[in-house]
Amino acid sequence: MARRHSHGKGVAQGAGSAYPVRMCDTTIDPRCRRPAVFLDRDGTLIEDRGHLRSPEDVVLYPETLPALRRLTERFELFIVTHQGGIGAGLLTAAEVEGVHRHLLRILDEGGVRIREVFTCPHLREHGCDCIKPHPRFLFEAASRYGLDLPRSYTVGDHPHDVEFGRRAGAQGIYVRTGHGEKHHAELAPDTIVVPGIGEAADWILAEDEARRRNGDLSDAIRRAAQMLAEGGVVAFPTETVYGLGAHALDPAAVARVFEIKGRPRFDPLIVHVADRTAAAALSSIWPETAERLARRFWPGPLTLVLPKSPVIPEIVTAGLPTVALRCPRHPIAQSLLRELGGPIAAPSANSFSRPSPTEAEHVREQLGALVPLVLDAGPCPVGVESTILSLAGPRPTLLRFGGCPVEDLERAIGPIVEAGAVDERPQSPGRLARHYSPTTTLRWWVSDAVPPDAGVSGLLTLTPPDARSGWAKVEVLSESGDLREAAARFFAAMRRLDAAGLAAIYARPVPEEGLGRAINDRLRRAAADHAGGHISF
């Protein structure tokens, strides 16, 4: 029999494998239906440690609680898990239910409410209708709770978790944790693939926010793609920052991007593509290292620099023989690329050298009527630009720290050479000494002593300072010191300080690791054009 565990109601037993599939209750007003996220258990929320008998064996991934807390504000949450060990006689139903009670207690104490846990206890050869990818549990939950399945999602580390959602009209998201890498090659080409539950939550919330802000999202995407196809420019969100896009194969349209930004023509642009197949078509050489990195980190905040195909206009690459290629991990960017059916050249959608925009309002503030259409999906979840890695030379070379930690890249391909701090002629975006700068003087502050002008100045800091009273304004990037949260808030915090009418902004460096290296890189370049930019009292 299929089993379900309802949060706060103990354990109830389902009606067996012959239970009929029930459609949503049509008596519920569609306007009252809530979307839901149906979560796989092992390899998605917790480490896959085989057949779990004891609650002590439950280990949550670090991102699980933060991700589910964000989701629970807008979505009903369910767990749907296959525990074939029961059918094989390796586990008892009581053991599985004990694990679920423990897991629900951990989540509840962390501020997360799971509506119900659905468990299939059968082996696949039993032929039940509750094992994924059969969507029985989705329809059952929709009927019981009045859910909006077309606005719902399934998340898991097996292709069945994705197909499970598709069969019920929901959207499936595949995570690389658990058995994700093992089954990656089995996925359909258009499957949404993300590193883990944190990035899955980012995707879901960004798409939901875009629907809220754009009305008919499909129509907005179609209009934006049509504008690009006709030689226009559009601002759109990626997981890193908002981009100012033009069709990458249209030189006149790309020239308009340079004009709007006030960007010098010697500074090359990144070309955004829908997938690695599209990227390989735009490079004259697609080495094995590029394929390995693209399979592991795309879609995501990694840009690869490769020898360019002749189809790429010279204006895109600033006359260089290489092209910078990226596959963004954002639902709107992906939808726009697929609707257009071609590549988009897109730097950040801001005035040249100023802080990058991580919200649509930042684009409107700086570029205004120069950009006729801004696709708004709320804040960008990563918040700093992509990491740029050149594969055009004898060794992989880091050209810019960014949203993909270098430590992760080195685990995938081995040691990476770091290029010098600046280029006389940039080999990629973000290589100029002066960049990302606010109009207010920004100083790199490494002292414990409070500067004499603190009363009229602002502080940008990772964690709360010992005392805030000495500063005119303080921006804390993360109360807990989380570098991912800090990166997502970085540019918005800098903009708020810049708009506060301060005499100066003092910025404390963050730990030089992971995303902290990208934040420190932006701070160094932002301070580079100010006298006394590096200060130690």
When pLDDT is averaged across residues 16-24 and rounded to a whole number, the result is 32
Q: Tens of pLDDT along 490-514?
A: 999 999 999 999 999 999 999 999 9
What's the confidence (pLDDT) of residue 536? 35
When pLDDT is averaged across residues 68-97 and rounded to a whole number, the result is 96
Report the DSSP beta bridge partners of residue 116.
6, 78
Specify whether the CB–CB gap between 451 and 439 falls below 8 A.
no
What's the confidence (pLDDT) of residue 4? 55
Domains of the chain: 3-211 (3.40.50.1000), 215-418 (3.90.870.10), 442-535 (3.40.50.11030)
Query: Per DSSP, which regions of 7-105 are E strands?
Result: 11-13, 36-39, 76-82
Specify whether the CB–CB gap between 448 and 512 falls below 8 A.
no
pLDDT band at 426 (very low <50, low <70, confident <90, very high): low
pLDDT band at 17 (very low <50, low <70, confident <90, very high): very low
What's the confidence (pLDDT) of residue 432? 65
Cβ-based neighbours of 294, under 8 Å, separated by 6 or more: 276, 279, 304, 327
Mean pLDDT of the chain: 90
Beta strands at 397-400 and 417-418: parallel, antiparallel or unpaired: parallel
Q: In which element (H, E) is residue 240 found? A: none
Instruction: Measure the CA–CA gap between 40 and 518, rounded to whole angstroms.
Output: 33
Report CA-CA distances (Å) from 251 to 104, 256, 305: 55, 9, 20
**Model pTM greater than 0.75?**
yes
